[in-house]
Amino acid sequence: MSAAALEISYKHLLRIAAPIVISNATVPLLGVVDVAVIGQIGLAAPLGAVGLGAVILTTLYWIFGFLRMSTSGLAAQAHGAGDLAERAAVLLRALLIGAAAGLGLILLQAPLFWAAFTIAPASEAVEGFARHYLGIRIWGAPATIMLYALTGWLIALGRTGAVLVLQVVQNGLNVALNLWFVLGLGWGVGGVATATLMAEWAGLALGLWLVRDGFGTVLRAAWARVFHASALRAMFRASRDIMGRSVLLQLSFTSFVFLGARFGDVTLAANHVLMQFLELTAYALDGFAFAAEALVGQAIGAQAWTQARRAKRIALHCGFAGAAVLAVLFAMFGGQIIALMTTAADVRAEAWLYLPWLVAAPLVGVASWILDGVFIGALLTTAMLRAMAIAVAVYAASLLLLIPLAGNHGLWAGLMLLNLLRALTLWRALPAGLRG
């Protein structure tokens, strides 16, 4: 792709970002339907089992989330360079890794589930239902992890409309099968698991069909490159760095939850309610970060550094505009949102005390999220990991001071500081070609 052919504009970025925002909105809906249909059984154990089983699988699959991001950065640069064979080879490598990882989880399911129930013991009834649920769902592991690769590849090419189609069809099928298997056929927990399993494999089939045009006449050349040592090293390096960064980020959020538990059940519950604001913010602004991955990666692949800088600037401008809208909405309607999420008067009152932090959160955090997308597109993954390590170290040290001084307010201040530090360390790590 020539620099002249690379379109970098607000309109183009929004065209990439909008489908991601819409597709993200379908994700929480699926969890709501799972809870609603299994809740019709009228027993606590099946409901708890589905929740526990879903958390266990989500945690296992989360480990392989790096595959989406590394695939996105590598494919975007190959696309920008006009190397269609390498672009296809990136996807083939990622699909093979996803298939191998999924098969590995299936083979290791017994010790993995044993470890999960040892760490999070449940009642005999809940564990029994959960094991039944997991025993069905685990067979979808290859499809789920391979879908990470497909999604990353489509984002790299800016084909987020296809990502939206994939997400809507997969989640829509899951919902329909849930209703049929559980409410219609009375399959209970097994029905929920079977519905998700079938939707995962149907999603993979649809995803492979959506990327079929990426191979064509270059398939033979792509296969010949799949196991090239230099390409494998590049994918391994990017994946290693992204996984390390993700682990540090997850540890930070986990520590936030654990430290919040020290302030009592009401504060813990209030923090959980308010964390949904952060989740909503991430879903809403992810589209701009994904667009930055695609456009920055394509520009660098084309050696169009002026275009790469423009893509970074436009993504930040759009991200801050979106963050400002969210901040205003949280300020105006935060109380009503809290009231919808809990009927407990004491939790509502406690959440109100810390709501100002969530009003500030989108504006404080947006730069770090967008810059993550820039660094992934540019494949500056080692610098991204280093920046995250610095930010997390300062965050951990700051909590030693902030929590004794300000309690739960200090905990929220520390979380805001973490996002601010992430942005500052990433900005300092930007190479000259991306500054300005």
Directed axis angle between helix 381-429 and helix 345-377, to 10°? 100
Model confidence band, residue 74 (pLDDT cutoffs 50, 70, 90) = very high
- Residue-level pLDDT at 212: 92
- Residue-level pLDDT at 217: 83
Tokens 């040592």 sit on residue: 229
Residue 2 pLDDT greater than 60, yes or no: no
> Where exactly are the structural domains of the chain?
40-227, 228-436
- Residue-level pLDDT at 63: 87
Model confidence band, residue 362 (pLDDT cutoffs 50, 70, 90) = very high
Residue 48 pLDDT greater than 80, yes or no: no
pLDDT one-digit tens code per residue, 145-190: 999 999 999 999 999 999 999 999 998 999 899 889 988 888 888 8
- Residue-level pLDDT at 39: 67
Q: Of 23, 279, 61, 59, give the one whose Cα is nearest residue 149.
A: 61
- Residue-level pLDDT at 28: 63
pLDDT one-digit tens code per residue, 286-345: 899 999 999 999 999 999 999 999 999 999 999 999 999 999 999 999 888 888 777 778
Residue 261 pLDDT greater than 60, yes or no: yes
Stretch 199-223: mean pLDDT, rounded?
92
Model confidence band, residue 36 (pLDDT cutoffs 50, 70, 90) = low
Sorted by sequence, the CB contacts under 8 Å of residue 279 that are 6+ apart come out as none
Would you state the structure tokens that stand for residue 302, as one six-digit string? Answer: 């084309």
Residue 380 pLDDT greater than 80, yes or no: yes
Model confidence band, residue 1 (pLDDT cutoffs 50, 70, 90) = low
Model confidence band, residue 199 (pLDDT cutoffs 50, 70, 90) = very high
The answer to whether 305 and 430 have CB atoms below 8 angstroms apart is: no
- Residue-level pLDDT at 41: 67
Stretch 247-265: mean pLDDT, rounded?
85
Taking the C-alpha atoms of residue 29 and residue 6, their distance in angstroms, rounded to an integer, is 36
Residue 140 pLDDT greater than 70, yes or no: yes
The answer to whether 291 and 373 have CB atoms below 8 angstroms apart is: yes
Q: Within 13 A of 152's CA, how many CA atoms are on the CB side?
A: 33
Least confident of 78-82, 113-117, 138-142, 201-205: 113-117
Would you state the structure tokens that stand for residue 276, as one six-digit string? Answer: 């949904």
How much of the chain, in percent, has pLDDT values that exceed 90?
63
- Residue-level pLDDT at 427: 95
Chain mean pLDDT for the chain:
89
pLDDT one-digit tens code per residue, 400-433: 999 999 999 999 999 999 999 999 999 999 998 8
Q: Of 52, 39, 30, give the one whose Cα is nearest residue 130.
A: 52
Taking the C-alpha atoms of residue 331 and residue 347, their distance in angstroms, rounded to an integer, is 18
Name the phi and psi angles at 21, rounded to 5: -60, -45
- Residue-level pLDDT at 52: 77
Taking the C-alpha atoms of residue 90 and residue 95, their distance in angstroms, rounded to an integer, is 9
Residue 94 to residues 345, 359, 414, Cα–Cα distance (Å): 49, 38, 36
Q: Of 253, 205, 211, 290, give the one whose Cα is nearest residue 22.
A: 290
Residue 4 pLDDT greater than 60, yes or no: no
Least confident of 72-81, 117-126, 310-319, 387-396: 117-126
Residue 268 pLDDT greater than 90, yes or no: no
